[in-house]
Amino acid sequence: MMLGDLGAEVIKIENPKGGDDTRAWGPPFAENKDATDKQRPESAYFLCVNRNKKSVTVNMKTEGGRQIIYDLVKHCDVLVENYLPGKLASMKLGYEDLIKINPRLIYASITGYGQDGPYADKPGYDVIIEAEAGLMHITGEPDGKPVKVGVAITDLTTGLYAQSSILAALIKRGITGRGQRIDCSLLESQVASLANIASNYLIGGKEAQRMGTSHPSIVPYQVMPTRDSFVMIGAGNDGQFAKLCQRMGMEHLLQDTRFKTNVDRVRHRVELIQALEDRLTQEDSSYWLEQLNGGGFPFAPINNIQQTFEHPQLMARGLVQEVEHERAGKIKLVGPPVKFSDFKPTIRLPPPVLGAHTNEILTDVLGYTQESVRSLRDNGAIGE
């Protein structure tokens, strides 16, 4: 999707029988705009990540289906796949098979554990890797059980690594004229995303613990209660801490040697947080959001999803876009989040109905005749 947002023509290969599994992941579903349309509506899950793609149905277990892939490889720059290692090779669609057809092909494989090693054959899922790669261990309240992040963050992180790797491989190909294999795994992407937690262990030998919303190396930097709800407050340096104390009417904390520097505040975390919470719980969140505004340090309300999409900054930036879907009618999607000075990433195509572009790609791109397309359909190589 991200490559599509940047202008790539993306052809999504789907199983003719049902297509992408996420098409059925619901509720919620986007209701069909035509009341007489009795086909299963598209899931909100599928709609969120499949814009700017063309759907082509191919049964790769058939000879005709594999030939379609071979013909597409002649035309395409990049192939992205997420099968278990060796699966596509067993169907004669592996990297070594396809670079014989197109040596410039960039073949990106996304798996749970990578192409080799003792776990290579294990299937990988976001929540499983969250548990196995340390993220779940550090997520949750100190006295609570491990919890997953609220979205499939390991999948998203791996997608970002895959995208940047593909773009790097394209640049490299511009120099060498050759494509290459990209081996991207959920496990390694997640461990790479442990950031300072990983460094704390590797360099300092410090095992991590669940800390709720607090930060292991900065105090105060966490969600704290008010009289009626919660606010997030951060003071990343001594100057910001001084400004926070002034806005909260707690200047006396600045004279306390326990809180003089951030190192001191980390050492005396419990006492400082208790003092701040005692003051914060004397007033409602609305009072504190007004009182802290413009103070020169970061803070924020804990918004729900409705409040997030009503955020004036997001509305001003035009992040949410409305597109016309073939069966669901007008739907809203979160658009490309990055702004460029020289061009504008756009949603050129709504998320596709299953197989919507099969005929177009086979005839217009690959040059198949209508008779050939009918024959492929009769033989089960493509969908209806």
17-75 tens-digit pLDDT: 999 999 999 899 998 888 888 788 899 999 999 999 999 999 999 999 999 999 999 99
Domains recognised in the chain with CATH numbers: 2-193+353-378 (3.40.50.10540), 221-225+230-301 (3.30.1540.10)
Rg (CA), the chain: 26
> If you count them, how many residues does the chain have?
384
In this prediction, residue 216 has a pLDDT band, given cuts at 50, 70 and 90, of confident
What pLDDT score does 242 carry? 96
For residue range 217-242, what is the model confidence (pLDDT) as tens digits? Answer: 899 999 999 999 999 999 989 999 99
Q: What is the mean pLDDT of the chain?
A: 95
* Average confidence (pLDDT) over 183-196: 97
Catalytic residues: 155
- State the Cα–Cα distance between residues 188 and 154, nearest whole angstrom: 10
In this prediction, residue 167 has a pLDDT band, given cuts at 50, 70 and 90, of very high
- pLDDT above 70 covers a percentage of the chain that reads 100
- pLDDT above 90 covers a percentage of the chain that reads 96
Q: Tell me the DSSP string of 126-139.
A: HHHHHHHTSTGGGS
Please list, in sequence order, all residues whose beta carbon lies within 8 angstroms of the beta carbon of residue 174, skipping any fewer than 6 positions away: none
3-class DSSP state of 203 = helix
What pLDDT score does 233 carry? 96
What pLDDT score does 288 carry? 97
